[in-house]
Amino acid sequence: MQDAGSPRIARARFVDPQLLAIGLAGGVLSGLLGVGGGIVMVPLLVIWAGYAQRDAHAMSLGAIVPISIAGVLTYGIAGEVRLPEALALAVGAVAGARVGAGLLSRLGDRPLKLAFGSFLVAVAILMAIRR
């Protein structure tokens, strides 16, 4: 950590209130919607807390570990977790993540974001209207 990353990293030996607020926001969103919470934590870490993009990404992923454990336990106690489906998805996701990181450097950002963004909006509409 001495050579790379934002200067914030080296100084942050304790957890400041700003990080706690970001963790809390990410956690609530994660538990409520079943997502990781990185979608709010990464921008907050960059824009509000001043982390470099790469560090913010790593910090968000690290925070998602305890966050998702708490979410899984809470839903698990309520009997909502489907284990076989989760295992099947996880096998694919862990393998896919390696491929995705490699593709990142080769694909154009702009068409991907436009296509994917439009896709998400369409899925959102479908989810809202279907019973």
Partner 1 sequence: MSFAILLAALVAFGAVTGVAAGVLGVGGGILMVPFLTLVAGMPQHAAEATSLLVVLPTAIVASLVLHRRGVGDLGLALRFGVIGAAGAAGGALLALELPGRSLRVVFAVFLALVGLRLIHDGLQTERT
Looking at this protein, which amino acid is placed at residue 109?
A: D
DSSP string, 28-68: HHHHHHTS-SHHHHHHIIIIIT---HHHHHHHHHHHHHHHH
Q: Closer to partner 1 at the Cβ: 24 or 50?
A: 24
- Which of 47, 48, 50, 103 lies at the binding interface for partner 1 (CB under 8 A)? 103
Q: In the complex, what is the shortest distance from the CB of residue 3 to partner 1, in angstroms, rounded to a whole number?
A: 8
- Closest among 53, 63, 52, 50 to 18, alpha carbons compared: 50
Q: In the complex, what is the shortest distance from the CB of residue 50 to partner 1, in angstroms, rounded to a whole number?
A: 14
CB-count exposure of residue 23 (10 Å: 0-12, 13-18, 19+): buried
Q: Closer to partner 1 at the Cβ: 33 or 50?
A: 33
What's the Cα-to-Cα distance from 82 to each of 34, 56, 64, 72, 86, rounded to whole Å? 13, 31, 20, 11, 6
- Which of 34, 47, 48, 50 lies at the binding interface for partner 1 (CB under 8 A)? 34
Q: Does 69 bind partner 1 (CB under 8 A)?
A: yes
Q: Which of residues 80-99 bind partner 1 (CB under 8 A)?
A: 80-86, 88-99
Q: Does 130 bind partner 1 (CB under 8 A)?
A: yes
Q: Does 36 bind partner 1 (CB under 8 A)?
A: yes
Q: Does 114 bind partner 1 (CB under 8 A)?
A: yes
Q: In the complex, what is the shortest distance from the CB of residue 126 to partner 1, in angstroms, rounded to a whole number?
A: 6
